[in-house]
């Protein structure tokens, strides 16, 4: 068997009516402008993955992702055996950046290998024997009362971990966090994601205040490039820092751990898929740094991929999985099964998913 064809299919799925556009400190969205990766091998076996381009984070777009797959990544991987994950990444890394595109291909290759062997990706990963992964919620910027109301609704569905977007107005951020804590009580896991929006001074002041309200961690409080600033914040407060935009690769993880500011590290399968996510997790585990399985607001395909990795990896202490519910439709024949705040993993070979061709035809935007 060998890789014969890699297709990059751009699609647009709007956010559900009533939820509306969502906003963070560095980007916003009103729909999933993502790319479905479809890899076909010489035996006709097909694997799927999802890419989540983000111009403000990774420097890529939906259009550029389609182009780099067609013009660079497919030619580099053609005729390679699908199980050769390390060789695949070595070849893909000859092209700079474009991590979401590479991750989508890695996901699809794992899907193919699982199907060829007749095993689920859960067995293929060889990690913990768990058939489900906990969900989380990313709460967009908004008025404090609205933020608290959204969290209360999610809590009725079994969600226990909430990440509140912040970074534009420190006073509003403090008010919103307090409102959520009052609404949910002491048992909920609450964190903030600043998206690099604070100065060092503001970060220290806000985190000193929120420490009294049992904040679990603070994500990227200052600029990702500000190594000294991150370290100063980390040494000045008793709130661990979660690094996300600072850590895209295994090399990034090692650098940030050595710097000393990383209390936790965010792993996103949307940029490191299965193979590289395992490397990053192992580096963190060796340094006794726990990880959070982050979300790139994937649709159902990407959310299932994230759930597989979270369920298999013992160093994942929490997740943000679950954003697929904000979209009006799925590209799959069946929505992921959710029970009491957990996603139940599919049981079929590979990713255990089936693409709904009618839905794909409806939402793809290249025709």
Give me Rg for the CA atoms of the chain.
20
Among 162, 157, 133, smallest CA distance to 342 is for: 133
| Cα 29 to Cα 49: distance, rounded to the nearest angstrom | 21
Yes or no: say if 45 and 76 are a contact pair by the CB < 8 Å rule.
Answer: no
Distances (CA, A) of 196 to 226, 242, 290: 10, 11, 21
pLDDT at res. 202 = 98
The predicted pLDDT at position 24 comes to 78
Domains along the sequence of the chain with CATH: 3-119+356-363 (3.30.390.10), 125-344 (3.20.20.120)
Residue 18: per-residue pLDDT: 80
Question: How does 185-222 read in b/e, with b if 16+ C-beta sit within 10 Å?
Answer: eeebbbbbbbbbbbebebbbbbbebbeeeebbbbbbbb
Q: What region, left, alpha or beta, does residue 174 occupy, with left being phi > 0 and alpha being psi -120 to 50 degrees?
A: alpha
What pLDDT does 129 receive? 84
Q: Do 333 and 339 form a contact (C-beta atoms < 8 A)? A: no
pLDDT, tens digit only, all 367 positions of the chain: 899 999 999 999 999 988 878 777 777 889 999 999 999 999 999 999 999 999 999 999 999 999 999 999 999 999 999 999 999 999 999 999 999 999 999 999 999 999 999 999 999 998 878 999 999 999 988 889 999 999 999 999 999 999 999 999 999 999 999 999 999 999 999 999 999 999 999 999 999 999 999 999 999 999 999 999 999 999 999 999 999 999 999 999 999 999 999 999 999 999 999 999 999 999 999 999 999 999 999 999 999 999 999 999 999 999 999 999 999 999 999 999 999 999 999 999 999 999 999 999 999 999 8
φ, ψ at 285 (rounded to 5°): -65, -40
Tokens of 29: 């969205």
d(CA 277, CA 258): 19
The per-residue b/e assignment along 131-164, b for 16 or more CB within 10 angstroms, e otherwise, is ebbbbbbbbbbbebeebbebbeebbeeebbbbbb
């Amino acid at each position: 068997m060998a890789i014969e064809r890699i297709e990059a299919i751009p699609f647009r799925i709007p956010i559900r009516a009533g939820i509306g556009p969502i906003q963070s400190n560095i980007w916003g969205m009103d729909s999933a402008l993502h790319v479905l990766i479809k890899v076909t091998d010489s035996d006709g076996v097909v694997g799927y993955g999802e890419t989540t381009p983000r111009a403000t984070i990774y420097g890529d777009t939906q259009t550029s992702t389609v182009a780099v797959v067609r013009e660079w990544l497919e030619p580099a991987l053609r005729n390679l055996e699908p199980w050769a994950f390390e060789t695949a990444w070595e070849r893909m890394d000859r092209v700079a950046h474009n991590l979401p595109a590479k991750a989508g291909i890695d996901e699809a290759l794992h899907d193919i290998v699982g199907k060829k062997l007749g095993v689920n990706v859960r067995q293929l990963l060889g990690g913990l024997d768990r058939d489900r992964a906990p969900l989380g919620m990313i709460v967009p910027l908004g008025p404090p009362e609205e933020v608290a109301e959204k969290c209360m609704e999610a809590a009725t569905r079994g969600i226990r971990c909430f990440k509140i977007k912040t970074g534009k107005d420190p006073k509003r951020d403090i008010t919103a966090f307090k409102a959520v804590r009052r609404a949910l009580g002491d048992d909920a896991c609450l964190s903030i994601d600043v998206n690099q929006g604070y100065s060092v001074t503001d970060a220290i002041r806000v985190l000193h205040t929120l420490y009294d309200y049992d904040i679990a961690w603070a994500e990227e409080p200052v600029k990702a490039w500000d190594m000294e600033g991150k370290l100063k914040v980390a040494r000045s407060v008793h709130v661990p820092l979660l690094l996300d935009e600072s850590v895209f690769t295994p090399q990034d993880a090692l650098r940030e751990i050595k710097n000393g500011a990383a209390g936790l590290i965010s792993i996103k399968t949307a940029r490191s898929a299965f193979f590289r996510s395992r490397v990053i997790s192992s580096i963190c585990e060796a340094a006794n740094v726990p990880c959070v399985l982050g979300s790139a607001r994937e649709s159902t395909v990407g959310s299932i991929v994230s759930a597989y990795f979270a369920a298999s990896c013992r160093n994942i202490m929490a997740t943000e999985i679950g954003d697929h519910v904000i979209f009006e439709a799925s590209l799959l024949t069946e929505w992921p099964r959710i029970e009491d705040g957990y996603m139940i993993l599919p049981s079929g070979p590979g990713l255990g998913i089936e693409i709904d061709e009618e839905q794909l035809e409806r939402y793809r935007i290249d025709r």
